[in-house]
């Protein structure tokens, strides 16, 4: 039996909707792309105002980059609900692809549009009002509320680690909602209890001091060949990664995790098929194998290649350098720094000491146990809101800085399928329906967490 | 004993130098980049005028592209000296890198500057005046003179084949000077008696309909991997090309050709070392091995690579397509069309039927026998002009449409080393000294050919 009344939470949300959208409008109006060096003071001032009005105590932590804002509603309870959000956004370009100005909240056909409307200002506002509405609906959630809001998520959360290492106590909670959580009627929610890690490399090879005429091929070192040969040793066509020791630290999935996969609805795979308009996935993967690879396997992807002449037609040139971007998704207990060592050793062993390696990103994998009470709580509330059994996924195939929180707090992300969000693209959007339910869903989680 | 007096030929050249440079100035002033669709009528009118003034009969042959101009000084002799030149030039960009306007002939520090000054309007003028000066110096060369001047050399001589197939009789001669020939005091000339062929391919791989997030790597076909794996099967690190049948048609060098290589001066290798500022050439090649590979070996080069994210930093993307440019230099009797078949078969056999192949260029290899009288004649005159033994090279490492003439006529190119020509680049130039000697050298060849 839920400790909340879904209907009353939705009704309060409806009553406060103008205020909710006004708050979101103010957040969206402030450009906050970290890469573009937007002035971040206005968003921090605006957020602090919204928090303080609602009785939160706000602390702003300077870092080497964007400040981290921590807002506490300390109610002297034993339990704490934590929200991880970010106030920075992706760049708005290409500007002329937007149908309404990116930094104005717009509504068309029951959808909200604007940069950050989903990623991640909309959910931040939904969290803020979710808690407020829970109180207004007459519930007094029996937990403390804390927000940790960073400003570099879209830039790799470069300085978040610095903050997390310095303030582990601020990350302790009984459950952290990571970026967003939502459930709507008649649609199955996906509850993600983890993310993969990521080690993103650039591989560079150099030839002679200048581009050469390809007639000189018999005497000139061709860095494109060096790179292709080196890359071809990393993985075979069965998708087996051939780096010695690469799989050593991989923790195999537990029996109960594997059992989950068998029950994932075919419809979920069809959504991917629709997305990529393909008959056949890589190596014909379907069913349990599809999920097993997506959820539990580390990967090695060439994300970029560049060398020599890339324009139309023919240019008989041997470029003086070549470059590849290679991305490894990692699973527990793999670590980016170790992958760097193994990759370096692999290249050296195979005669590619000339290949220069740069590690750009190192996210660790992170998972909350699927039987953790917080995951179960999310799943139950999601089932209540949607009327559908949620899909419990031990790990998202993507990566993020959740590992910095993970050792201190169970966390999860709860997602619904919407092919039209345009995440990271022009005309970023969210259904108004989703915004409404997100707000109520958050309220329900707070109430429910306080009760258990 | 030469049939000419070098000194008198140089003196006549000096006397006519103002007219020679005026003629060159007029040619250079007319922009003739085929790619840039410059109006070609003015250059054809101007060339025709220069030829006709000197008693040549001019024919202009339309093709699907730039017209081919044939100018005949038919003196009723048994022998014919043929000149292959081209009136088109490389694009002038980047414009701001030029120290004087590209379409103005300029002189600085005893060098001529301007687009086409070496490639190939300067040599065309040197040929024209070389013949004129031979007459003015009192020699009546006992040979007919013919010029074949095309207008698409810098664009791959696309329509030259059409002309050559239609008019094989116009290509018959006792010797063809290919683009240029020169010899100057105290510098060893290189006499090239051949060129390699070329088969230039684009290889394309496709993945799904759109770029994918690299988290989806377990289910998404990555065209960059497909391409890297396919490429890695083409050649190994010992530079052995692994395509079945690739070497089948290769005619091994003759004993006398190999013997030549042993006498090539070390200084020639040092020029390459200087050019590329390298201690060590590919696979440590030096001496006879260096030359054997450069002159006689077919090659397989990656000339370009492109896929996914090529900018700075990290973008976790699996691009929807990948591309490579691959260039094969061919030796007698390899043929581009056959390489296309072999490469297709190779890719299919290795499981890469998904790799799309486009053949952009197909030049056949072409060689004149090094003991051919015309090669010997060039070598003797070069020795006379330079006071140094010329270096006889059976094949240049580059390629060109010489094979279209080769079956009908012995041909050669005679080159000197000048690191400052800026061929195909801004500030294209030629030493005034070279222009003077080139003119006299051509006169000497005509006189000598008529006598033998």
| pLDDT bucket at B361, cuts 50 / 70 / 90 | confident
Q: Which domain holds residue B339?
A: 195-255+295-363
Would residue B134 count as lying in a domain? yes
Rounded (5°) CA angle B246-B249-B255: 120
Nearest to B188 by CA among B112, B118, B263: B263
Instruction: Indicate if B213 and B96 belong to the same structural domain.
Output: no
Instruction: Indicate if A168 and A86 belong to the same structural domain.
Output: yes
Considering the entire predicted model, what is its pTM? 0.92
Residue carrying the six token digits 């497909």: B226
Would residue A88 count as lying in a domain? yes
Which of B213, B228, B281 is nearest residue A232 as measured by Cβ atoms?
A: B228
The last residue of one of the domains, among A363, A378, A404, is: A363
CB B444 within 8 A of CB B381: yes
**Residue B155 pLDDT > 90:** no
Q: What is the pLDDT along chain A (452 residues), one digit of tens a residue?
A: 789 999 999 999 999 999 999 999 999 999 999 989 999 999 999 999 999 999 999 999 999 999 999 999 999 999 999 999 999 999 888 899 999 999 999 999 999 999 999 999 999 999 999 999 999 999 999 999 999 999 999 888 989 999 999 999 999 999 999 999 999 999 999 999 999 999 999 999 999 999 999 999 999 999 999 999 999 999 999 999 999 999 999 999 999 999 999 999 999 999 999 999 999 999 999 999 999 999 999 999 999 999 999 998 888 899 999 999 999 999 999 999 999 999 999 999 999 999 999 998 789 999 999 999 999 999 999 999 999 999 999 999 999 999 999 999 999 999 998 989 998 889 999 999 999 999 999 999 999 999 86
**Residue B345 pLDDT > 90:** yes
Instruction: Indicate if B219 and B117 belong to the same structural domain.
Output: no
Nearest to A141 by CA among A127, A155, A154, A151: A127
A213: which residues sit within 8 A by CB, 6+ positions away? A316, A317, A318, B397, B398
Mean pLDDT, residues B78-94:
94
- In this complex, do A281 and B219 lie within 8 Å of one another by their Cβ atoms? yes
| pLDDT bucket at B424, cuts 50 / 70 / 90 | confident
Residue of A nearest to B240 (CA): A218
Q: How far apart are CA A345 and CA A28, in angstroms?
A: 47
**Residue B1 pLDDT > 80:** no
Pairing of strands A212-213, A317-318: antiparallel
- Percentage, residues of chain A above pLDDT 90: 92
The last residue of one of the domains, among A314, A339, A363, is: A363
- Residue A107, strand partner residues: A112
CB A295 within 8 A of CB A393: yes
- In this complex, do A327 and B319 lie within 8 Å of one another by their Cβ atoms? no
Which of B215, B313, B361 is nearest residue A329 as measured by Cβ atoms?
A: B215
Would residue B264 count as lying in a domain? no
The number of residues making up chain A comes to 452
Instruction: Indicate if A235 and A353 belong to the same structural domain.
Output: yes
Number of domains in chain B: 2
- In this complex, do B214 and A290 lie within 8 Å of one another by their Cβ atoms? no
Nearest to B54 by CA among B21, B9, B23, B13: B23
Instruction: Indicate if A119 and A131 belong to the same structural domain.
Output: yes
Sequence-ordered strand ranges (E) for A218-343: 299-308, 317-318, 321-330
CATH number for the domain spanning A222: value is 3.30.70.360
Instruction: Indicate if A229 and A270 belong to the same structural domain.
Output: no
**Residue B171 pLDDT > 70:** yes
Instruction: Indicate if B97 and B208 belong to the same structural domain.
Output: no
- What 8-state DSSP symbol labels residue A426? T
Instruction: Indicate if B331 and B355 belong to the same structural domain.
Output: yes
- In this complex, do B214 and A319 lie within 8 Å of one another by their Cβ atoms? no
- In this complex, do A314 and B200 lie within 8 Å of one another by their Cβ atoms? yes
The last residue of one of the domains, among B363, B386, B411, is: B363
Would residue B276 count as lying in a domain? no
Instruction: Indicate if A161 and A17 belong to the same structural domain.
Output: yes
- In this complex, do B307 and A305 lie within 8 Å of one another by their Cβ atoms? yes
Instruction: Indicate if B319 and B175 belong to the same structural domain.
Output: no
- pLDDT: is B419 or A188 the higher one? A188
Judge whether B209 is closer than 8 Å to chain A, CB to CB: yes
Residue carrying the six token digits 């309909």: B209
Could you give the ipTM of this predicted complex?
0.93
Which is it for the CA torsion B85, B88, B94, B100, positive or negative? positive
Q: How far is A168 from chain B (nearest CA, A)?
A: 28
Phi/psi at B254 (5° precision): -75, 160
Rounded (5°) CA angle B4-B7-B11: 115
The tokens describing A342, both together, are: 């193994």
How far is C-alpha B173 from the geometric centre of its chain's CA atoms? 20
Instruction: Indicate if B43 and B163 belong to the same structural domain.
Output: yes
Instruction: Indicate if A121 and A183 belong to the same structural domain.
Output: yes
Would residue A255 count as lying in a domain? yes
Judge whether A320 is closer than 8 Å to chain B, CB to CB: no
Q: How far apart are CA B337 and CA B361, in angstroms?
A: 10
Minimum mean pLDDT range among A91-95, B24-28, B191-195, B332-336: A91-95
pLDDT for the residue A228:
98
Would residue A80 count as lying in a domain? yes
Which of B208, B221, B239 is nearest residue A277 as measured by Cβ atoms?
A: B208
CB B274 within 8 A of CB B265: no
A95: which residues sit within 8 A by CB, 6+ positions away? A102, A426
For A377-420, what is each residue's pLDDT tens digit? Answer: 999 999 999 999 999 999 999 999 999 999 999 999 999 989 89
CB B67 within 8 A of CB B151: yes
CATH number for the domain spanning B101: value is 3.40.630.10
Indicate the burial class of B4 (C-beta count within 10 angstroms; 0-12, 13-18, 19 or more): buried
- In this complex, do A309 and B315 lie within 8 Å of one another by their Cβ atoms? no
pLDDT for the residue A452:
63
**Contact residues, chain B, for A361 at CB < 8 Å:** 314
pLDDT for the residue B452:
63
Would residue A1 count as lying in a domain? no
Would residue B262 count as lying in a domain? no
């Amino acid at each position: 039996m839920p400790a909340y009344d879904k209907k009353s939470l939705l009704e309060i949300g409806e009553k406060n909707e103008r205020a909710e959208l006004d708050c979101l409008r103010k957040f969206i109006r402030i450009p906050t792309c970290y890469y573009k060096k937007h002035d971040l003071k206005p968003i921090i001032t605006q957020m602090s105002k919204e928090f303080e009005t609602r009785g939160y105590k706000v602390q702003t932590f300077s870092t080497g980059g964007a400040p981290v804002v921590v807002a506490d509603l300390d109610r002297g309870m034993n339990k704490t609900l934590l929200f991880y959000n970010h106030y920075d956004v992706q760049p708005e370009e290409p500007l002329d692809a937007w149908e309404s100005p990116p930094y104005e909240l717009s509504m068309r056909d029951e959808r909200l549009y604007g940069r950050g409307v989903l990623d991640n200002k909309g959910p931040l506002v939904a969290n803020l009002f979710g808690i407020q509405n829970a109180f207004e609906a007459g519930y007094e959630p029996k937990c403390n509320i804390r927000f940790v809001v960073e400003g570099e998520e879209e830039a790799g959360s470069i300085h978040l680690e610095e903050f997390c290492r310095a303030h582990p106590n601020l990350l302790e909670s009984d459950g952290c909602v990571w970026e967003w959580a939502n459930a709507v009627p008649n649609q199955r929610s996906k509850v993600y209890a983890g993310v993969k890690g990521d080690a993103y490399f650039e591989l560079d090879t150099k030839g002679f001091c200048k581009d050469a005429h390809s007639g000189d091929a018999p005497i000139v070192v061709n860095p494109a060949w060096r790179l292709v040969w080196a890359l071809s040793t990393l993985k075979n066509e069965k998708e087996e990664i051939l780096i010695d020791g690469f799989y050593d630290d991989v923790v195999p999935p537990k029996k109960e995790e594997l059992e989950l996969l068998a029950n994932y609805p075919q419809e979920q795979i069809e959504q991917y098929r629709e997305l990529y308009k393909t008959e056949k996935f890589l190596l014909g993967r379907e069913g349990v194998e599809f999920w097993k690879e997506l959820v539990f396997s580390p990967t090695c992807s060439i994300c970029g290649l560049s060398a020599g002449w890339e324009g139309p037609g023919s240019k008989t040139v041997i470029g003086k350098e070549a470059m590849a971007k290679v991305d490894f998704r990692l699973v527990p207990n793999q670590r980016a720094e170790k992958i760097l060592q193994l990759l370096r050793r692999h290249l050296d062993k195979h005669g590619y000491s000339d290949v220069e390696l740069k590690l750009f990103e190192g996210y660790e994998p992170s998972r909350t146990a699927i039987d953790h009470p917080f995951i179960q709580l999310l799943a139950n509330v999601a089932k209540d809101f949607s009327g559908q059994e949620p899909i419990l996924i031990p790990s998202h195939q993507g990566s993020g800085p959740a590992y910095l929180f993970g050792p201190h707090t169970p966390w999860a992300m709860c997602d619904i399928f919407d092919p039209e969000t345009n995440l990271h693209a022009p005309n970023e959007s969210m259904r108004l329906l989703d915004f409404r339910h997100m707000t109520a869903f958050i309220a329900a989680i707070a109430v429910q967490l306080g009760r258990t």
